[in-house]
Amino acid sequence: MNAFTKTAKVWFDELTLNERARQCRRRDRAGLPEFDPGAERAIAEGLRWLAHAQDNSATMDGGVARHFSLVGGWASSYPETTGYIVETFLNCAVKTSDARLADRARRMLDWLVSIQFPEGCFQGGMVDETPKQPAIFDTGQILTGLAAGTRIDERYRGPMIRAADWLLAKQEKDGSWLYDTPFAAPGAKVYETHVAIGLFRAAALEPDRGYLKSASAQVDWALGHQKANGWFDNCCLTDQSNPLTHTIGYALRGIIEAYLATRATRYLEAACLAADGIMGAMSAEGRLAGRLDRDWNAAADWVCLTGTAQIAECLLLLFEATQKQTYKQAGLNANRYVRRSTDIAGPPDIRGGVKGSFPVDGWYGKWQYLNWACKFTIDANLAELRCTR
């Protein structure tokens, strides 16, 4: 998009957008605020916002609304991300001794079980999207939540096994999942290492069902797409040459989980190789362009806050594994960047939420506060507290 087109678009938006959206964009375009609420406040406000998103889902079913839009309001519940939000809520319920978080997680789980397909999989997209089609990625994310749910109720073990068994049945001989989905471009999807996380979790509970072998095979397949500089081919929803930091974050987190589950050094080495490349693209204040090219150069003029939060957690996990101070500092910088972009004093629909992009009219999640952006921000700040205490 050239400069003239960008300017014309800004003026068009000024004439057509509601005042709330215009004000948010003006604030963001003025630059990142200096105020940093800190990790503990970010966690508390993020949990509050996710609870608000659960209570205000357009489908009012116990799931978490996909997003709040400054243009369109609250969306319907999103099974995929509700699945891994469960784990965050249960982790925080233990950390804070807040039984209300566990109760909310149980509501999410009961809803997810109610929409599970008979063969064990889950649909892609928001719950009211049609046609309802099974999705590998979404099933994997919900599997993570079901595995976490067994901590509070054994009723979730059966649904967990059915979901994991379905993933095994759909896996290719080389370890990949090439299952067709309308929610991403066809072909290889390296970021599905994040599906392997659910299988690693299930393997810890059901060690004799082949889940560990399946998860490891998928991550090994993904490593075959890693370049000498750490970059991954086939690692985006839409643009394989300039992948989102969001999907890079997914891929990296799955590789780290493979290391945590197996302690195989090849996974730690691959994760460090990618992390070193990413850190080279990050500014001293933690800014990371929303897309990165194969040489780890910026390929977007906006920040994907979701991806920044995911990568922050990954860097802090790598610090825990290696004690390398550069990982810790970069993770802290990235966390601070995301926190500075949030509003912790605004109205309930946005207070504590995390925008898809900074500025808010960037390509990813334009005008939206995304539930998974908030979830990953909480996780990254929990990692920060572990690393700084």
Considering Cα of 314, then 226, then 354, then 372, what sign does the dihedral take?
Answer: negative
Q: State residue 178's pLDDT score.
A: 81
pLDDT of 33 over the 80 cut: yes
Which pLDDT score is estimated for 14? 64
- H or E, element range at 145: helix 136-149
- Residue showing tokens 């105020």: 35
Residue 244 phi, psi (nearest 5) = -65, 145
Q: Report the percent of the chain where pLDDT is more than 90.
A: 92
pLDDT, average across residues 260-268: 98
**For residues 253 and 310, is the Cβ–Cβ distance under 8 A?**
yes
Catalogue all structural domains in the chain, each as residue range(s) with its CATH number: 3-28+44-388 (1.50.10.10)
367 pLDDT above the threshold of 90: yes
pLDDT value, residue 6: 57
Alpha-carbon distance of 283 to 277, in angstroms, equals: 13
At 389 the pLDDT is 86
Average pLDDT over all residues of the chain: 95
- Residues 206-230 pLDDT 10s: 999 999 999 999 999 999 999 999 9
**Span 259-269, average pLDDT:** 98
pLDDT of 86 reads 98
Q: What is the pLDDT of residues 227-253, one digit of tens each?
A: 999 999 999 999 999 999 999 999 999
pLDDT in tens, 140-151: 999 999 999 999
pLDDT average, residue stretch 125-142: 96
The 10s digit of each residue's pLDDT in 152-187 is: 999 999 999 999 999 999 999 999 998 767 777 777
% of the chain exceeding 70 in pLDDT? 95
| CA dist., res. 270 & res. 186, Å (int) | 25
The DSSP string of 223-283 is HTTB-TTS-BSS--SS-TTS-BHHHHHHHHHHHHHHHHHH--HHHHHHHHHHHHHHHHHS-
pLDDT tens, residue by residue, 38-94: 999 999 999 999 999 999 999 999 999 999 999 999 999 999 999 999 999 999 999
Least trusted range by pLDDT, from 2-11, 29-38, 173-182, 280-289: 2-11
Residue 65 three-state SS: strand
